[in-house]
Structure 1
């Protein structure tokens, strides 16, 4: 069969997730199956094959190759493990499997060549539609065209609400923090301006010293608005005193972002770096704010120019005012300055090596400017984006800067990715204007759709490739409904949209509308969404705006949601009051320093034992003389195991009256060199751990369990109950309690061969039944030794005496003289603390007692003790009788006061 994209995808997904491979050999001839673990230390083995042979192997850890004639047939079945292993719920694959599995390596190499061919074809002919959708997404998220070179973001800084780092600000937003608050007295006494009348703003005078009235009492503020380190920037105290706050904060965030991008004052001086800022005319111009010296202390033009002057940057420098689209427009101009897409500009030296791009708004004039925006501001004090009660936005403060640099550079005629640390990339952007519309401020859906569509064309993607959009989302019912409806019709109107929903975000519900800084705030929010692969949810959405249409394939998320893959295309929209529409598309990958991508792979060897061996076992993990086994059948006394072959040591264990025995293995009989399993009551074939000291291995034993398991559920298919094995009938499926057997099921006196196998670094302990049944003399010898442990001997072990009539199974002990009024105790067999006997419930103190209700053996009876009521100087005789007849284990406990 010829390999194509569909079959390649099928086999890759199968081999990535397959855990087990079941091979059934039909024949007619013989062959051999070669198995080689991914572990480079382990040696390969060869298994002869024949017709009617079935083999189950771990295909995720072993390379396998079948050698046979061309006329032989096999049937193969793969068993896959659940694959949503990553923290974001993606299909995460084992990197080891991709590196070691020969079949996966060949398929991956074929897929990479095919993706390159698809991208080359798409670059020549336009967007493809005839290839599988999953391959197209894979291609566009992995490769980009030479005509669509991304612009990298290498640094970011902010002075925002509650945080002075972009990452911490994002973390607070993704956890649902709402930064809007009532105006604090620290800024101004808002009671002088507040009037609950919704029309009170009409009484205001838009002039210095005039009346200012507002029914809005909420805002979002940043801390330390008056703080500034003028000495760092070599600005005199007199000039710094007169600088309005927006110049101070954008200068500081610009420098902080440059430091994050790796610049120093020395490398900045005389560098061809552009500076673009989204800002408006300072509010300080409307009040008596500045008292210091300096001609440009209050000027929108100087906002960017001062940064260029102080840092010594010689690239383009200008401030941009498009209302809430200001900083988004600054980002676009920054992309144009650094992207090496224009050959003429590049040859003429017009490219900037980097761009310092930012947005800033600081409220210093109180609510003086509010009346002119009052019709768009929320009386409720929150931006209720997409909500049926949305009535506008709340204003807020922020200063934020990013560093834009080329993502690629040309070496020897080929475009290669620069080696700089990157936070995110811009792959597409476009700005449009509404033109002649219903009014200058009214939203225009076609103009907005054109901005988004042209940005997608610049990015080289189709609508379904867009993973999410950060909406402008100012909380106006009209603007929100136009924006969402336009996105739904443009990006998710096809029949396949229901399978690939688009996630929408609205950060203004957390941070408010930060005026000229809104665009860059939304942009950085998207950048960290991709970095952590978690779309932050919006707030305050209770009932969806009834005017929105076409949102069936859109997710108006109110909680954090992951992307569908580790690569993402995420757009951010901004809109200006005068009809400006902007859309910027980012593309990047989740940061592996923050989010684990692959499966959490164990550092242990995948096999408990590999017969081919491999590696070297440390000298301290080997016995110098012999391996000794200690267990519950002989009071934990070491007995030497027999060496039957190279690396094979055996010992025969006889099942005692409890029908289960536990054991460990000691090197050279030394209790400080214990081999043990990784958990208590471990079954056969579990990996061997150690050697360790005895106290470290306490309770970690292997268990040969011959008992019948009783559970209040149906027995597993194929298991035989006691009733079935004795009568040949089928047990009632509706029974409340069923009994079924394990592989080790046995009776008292059955013998098991325990085998310790050592091959290289691998060690395993297994056992199998070698003899069934025992004569009466052997059964009597299996009574074992019983001990009393209690408060009278500080919970030590006092041995009981077996009566001369062994078949009677009576064990007694005399205790005294007693000093206290009550003593508690339990019984232990063969010094094995997991073979204790105890009452069903703790008993009342009694001078004499006799009962058949004895629980055990087991280790579950903590706190359930028998209790003796005594007087000072008393002696008591404790009797325990145990006998097994006709498959019934009869246990009786009694005590009574006796003479000294």
Structure 2
């Protein structure tokens, strides 16, 4: 419990007094936190035991491993003099108390004891959850004999994290000399406070509100031990939120860190200087990335789930939806080709797979929009129709309008395999000869789109099977990149298109062993047995992120995603067979892209894998990936999130790479990692004991914070393989966009309001808060009748001794000059002590915002206070600072006679007058504490409750609705809706109600009865 005078300003020359009443270290927490909440610091005397103090003083001369911190670090500790030299003490086991007189171990264990008492109050009163302690640091306070030390990068990183996340500091003063702690709030108006320290005392302070400096009073050094209480999870917050927790010392180190990251990135010294923290290299690559970037300015796609990739497709991927189903009759009758039990392949081959992912409306096209005849439109390959529409939509979203005569220098790169339209089961029986070649030739798609959309940039159709669309992205980004004097296209469309239309193609893929017999892509799973095909058509319109206009760099930040211009493309050469991925080639592919981007392998956060969906192919890809990304031991601490969209939407062949790219852009934009569906058991060939694999994460459910600090830019890779050994890898770059994201839930430990009171004062009190006659108190103790003068106690403190009534609680407000139009209040209903003071306001509109002095204790325990107990209520004023507190007066300390309590009155409010008026209850002269009244019912039955002193906040009511008179009684307190007593009778019946209230043996006993007259 806090001492009664803990808000007085300490004198520099006076002997320090404790702000908290003496007790064991573990029990001091509530009192310390009350001081921290109100004024930001707490002084404790005689905390260190004499034996440990003597032993510690005796051990100090034997310390020979002192370190002088850099100046920026000293600023965050005890100042350049207070932390002239420091040493970290060995941390003790909190479960094993060292023997008395052990010295430094006893000092460190005392930190554990204080933390034990502080943890719960810090969480409940200040919202500091998840608190942990740092190691104990021994400080020598003396004038330094050495020049300032240079700040090392590792030291800056360690101390910056400490100063960002610390909330409280415990300072134990070991002597042998007296010292001074200077405390200064982060408020320019506040004056500083100097606390004289003596050996064995302690000061606990809020590091998020105060700066502090320690120095010796004499010419000889003195010593102190400190320990920070930190919230480590602050370091995981997004940077914007983290900045709210930064104190000046942390801001200075953070500025140093940012400047060093920029310098490291500009000089690329991370390969040569091993002293640079690995985290700085990674953060520097993210914050100051300098390679060419390509914006995905807009995108459009048609997938099995829906045609809206930004909403429906996002929901499908976030929720882990499985979009695979059986082959619909709109494509063909699959029962003819599906191998049932006992079937043979006599006549024609059959398939064991009957599942795929199919889009609706695959054959629809607004032919008049593109000036196509009905005949030509009907003859067109549906894949061309969908490619035309997604290209038009992407261009329209990017601001390109289809106007007569308008042409655009836009490239058209289409990834499309062999058209299935020629073999489609559901196509027109006759296609006119003049349209036959353009109808089922995939080589015409790019040219046809350029023709219909009047785009005059490069036009190229690409067929590398499952790598087709990602190769189109690679070629499109290359076409708009600046190379010497070459004038690139202003934009390029990268398109992928594949529709499942022909049963004969299905059977051919099935005969090659590609299809899954179980009908799903079990990517990364131990049961992976092949793929299922899917429809997919999509387009991304690419533009350079930076353009030079009139010799000025213009950066376009309006995009749905960003890819790194330096991608990589290679071939597996002669692998074990034509379709098998080649591990060495995959590693070379990834390394080439990483080196071209100028980043480190461990910088990649997400890998959207190709996911062959067979055990061997998945294993080769995963091990190739971790062998590059997490090969070095220092890189194995950062998680690599691996995913594959094929588990959700199937394998859309020519569209597969672009589908993975769209998913990756959504992950980055929303700051999430989307789940892999159907993954029950990881591929058994992947050895989780391998250190490289221990940093691999494959999500099986949505990870809302899967990317860690979502303010940090993210690197993600997308890989695709094609039959014949074609490998393609593209990297994405960007940070989550706050625009489409819902508001994040507030942390429990949001930064609290500034200090409520500062004993040293500072600033000027508002003129309307300045009293001429003084402060007056009014409340339930005097039935809110007239303010009672509060007596001056000096140093801006005014007090009044309040005596508890029979309720054992009182509500009150404070009046300036006794004027009810100048009311000071806490701004909240039934506020506790030590809350901010608002006002002055007129009493008429603020009856309910009061302070509540509650001594009833918790339910199930004997009451903490009794009728007649006296409390000293004080209002403290120091400059612009003002706070209201109270402390219980002990008779042995203050033998002031009790103030006589005013007699209480009781009244009824009931249904007989629609709860409009109050019916007074008369005291029964013969029996003290008994009150009675008579009521007459106006209708069938009636209900009522009782009020004390005609006060709406002092209701007395039953514990259950519609209760008889012998039920338990609650109150006086706020009335509860529905809790009332019921009278059973008819109109005109008269009842006598009798209420008894007595206080015996500290028990408040209330009884009620009535009878019909």
Pairwise same-fold verdict (TM > 0.5): yes
| Structure 1 residues 245-284: aligned runs within 5 Å | 245-265=382-402, 269-284=406-421
- Where does residue 524 of structure 1 map in the other structure? 662
- Where does residue 230 of structure 2 map in the other structure? 80
- Where does residue 366 of structure 2 map in the other structure? 229
Contact preservation (8 Å) 1:523, 1:572 = yes
CA apart distance, 1:318: 0.3
| Structure 1 residues 456-855: aligned runs within 5 Å | 456-496=594-634, 499-549=637-687, 551-561=693-703, 562-566=706-710, 567-595=713-741, 605-608=753-756, 630-637=778-785, 639=787, 653-664=802-813, 676-677=825-826, 679-688=828-837, 700-709=849-858, 748=868, 750-755=870-875, 764-768=883-887, 778-779=899-900, 781-792=901-912, 794-795=914-915, 796-804=917-925, 809-818=928-937, 823-838=942-957, 845=964, 855=970
| Structure 1 residues 164-563: aligned runs within 5 Å | 164-168=307-311, 169-196=313-340, 203-204=347-348, 213-265=350-402, 269-286=406-423, 289=428, 290-291=431-432, 294=435, 296-340=438-482, 345-347=483-485, 349-363=486-500, 365-374=501-510, 375-409=513-547, 417-421=555-559, 423-426=561-564, 428-496=566-634, 499-549=637-687, 551-561=693-703, 562-563=706-707
Matched position secondary structure for 2:421: helix
How far apart are the structure 2 equivalents of 1:610 and 1:229? 73
Structure 2 unaligned segments of length 5 or more: list them: 1-68, 70-149
More displaced, 879-888 or 306-315? 879-888
CA apart distance, 1:479: 1.7
Contact preservation (8 Å) 1:156, 1:401 = yes
How far apart are the structure 2 equivalents of 1:19 and 1:267? 66
How far apart are the structure 2 equivalents of 1:485 and 1:21? 47
From the superposition, tell whether residues 279 and 197 of structure 1 become closer, same or farther in structure 2 (CA, over 3 Å).
farther
From the superposition, tell whether residues 597 and 227 of structure 1 become closer, same or farther in structure 2 (CA, over 3 Å).
same
From the superposition, tell whether residues 648 and 226 of structure 1 become closer, same or farther in structure 2 (CA, over 3 Å).
farther
From the superposition, tell whether residues 844 and 257 of structure 1 become closer, same or farther in structure 2 (CA, over 3 Å).
closer
How far apart are the structure 2 equivalents of 1:191 and 1:577? 29
CA apart distance, 1:396: 0.9
Contact preservation (8 Å) 2:832, 2:851 = yes
From the superposition, tell whether residues 613 and 184 of structure 1 become closer, same or farther in structure 2 (CA, over 3 Å).
farther
Q: 1:396-419: per-residue Cα shift (whole Å, max 9, x none)?
A: 111111122223456999988555
- Where does residue 880 of structure 1 map in the other structure? 995
The size of the alignment, in residue pairs, is 836
From the superposition, tell whether residues 879 and 4 of structure 1 become closer, same or farther in structure 2 (CA, over 3 Å).
same
From the superposition, tell whether residues 335 and 624 of structure 1 become closer, same or farther in structure 2 (CA, over 3 Å).
farther
How far apart are the structure 2 equivalents of 1:673 and 1:180? 71
How far apart are the structure 2 equivalents of 1:855 and 1:866? 12
User: Does 2:271 align with 1:152?
Assistant: no
How far apart are the structure 1 equivalents of 2:950 and 2:346? 93
From the superposition, tell whether residues 286 and 810 of structure 1 become closer, same or farther in structure 2 (CA, over 3 Å).
closer
From the superposition, tell whether residues 477 and 667 of structure 1 become closer, same or farther in structure 2 (CA, over 3 Å).
same
CA apart distance, 1:823: 4.7
Q: 1:206-256: per-residue Cα shift (whole Å, max 9, x none)?
A: xxxxxx844432221222222223333344444434332222222221222
CA apart distance, 1:668: 10
Q: 1:716-744: per-residue Cα shift (whole Å, max 9, x none)?
A: xxxxxxxxxxxxxxxxxxxxx5x685xxx
More displaced, 601-610 or 251-260? 601-610
* RMSD between superposed Cα atoms in Å: 4.3
CA apart distance, 1:196: 2.3
CA apart distance, 1:116: 2.6
More displaced, 682-691 or 763-772? 763-772
From the superposition, tell whether residues 812 and 541 of structure 1 become closer, same or farther in structure 2 (CA, over 3 Å).
same
CA apart distance, 1:529: 0.8
Q: Taking structure 1 as the reference length, what is the TM-score of the superposition?
A: 0.81
CA apart distance, 1:95: 2.9
How far apart are the structure 2 equivalents of 1:777 and 1:84? 51
CA apart distance, 1:521: 0.6
Q: 1:543-586: per-residue Cα shift (whole Å, max 9, x none)?
A: 33333445444223211221133322221121112222222222
From the superposition, tell whether residues 432 and 102 of structure 1 become closer, same or farther in structure 2 (CA, over 3 Å).
same
From the superposition, tell whether residues 6 and 855 of structure 1 become closer, same or farther in structure 2 (CA, over 3 Å).
same
CA apart distance, 1:534: 1.0
From the superposition, tell whether residues 61 and 810 of structure 1 become closer, same or farther in structure 2 (CA, over 3 Å).
closer
Contact preservation (8 Å) 1:812, 1:879 = yes
Residue number among 258, 263, 283 corresponding to 1:138 in the alignment: 283
CA apart distance, 1:698: 7.1
Structure 1 unaligned segments of length 5 or more: list them: 205-211, 712-736
How far apart are the structure 2 equivalents of 1:449 and 1:12? 36
How far apart are the structure 1 equivalents of 2:477 and 2:344? 44
Q: 1:159-202: per-residue Cα shift (whole Å, max 9, x none)?
A: 22233233221332111111112222344433444442698678
How far apart are the structure 2 equivalents of 1:275 and 1:444? 31
CA apart distance, 1:877: 4.0
CA apart distance, 1:525: 0.8
CA apart distance, 1:703: 0.6
Contact preservation (8 Å) 2:944, 2:982 = yes
How far apart are the structure 2 equivalents of 1:439 and 1:490? 24
Q: 1:813-846: per-residue Cα shift (whole Å, max 9, x none)?
A: 2313446675554433223445444456679757
- Where does residue 72 of structure 2 map in the other structure? none
- Where does residue 15 of structure 1 map in the other structure? 163
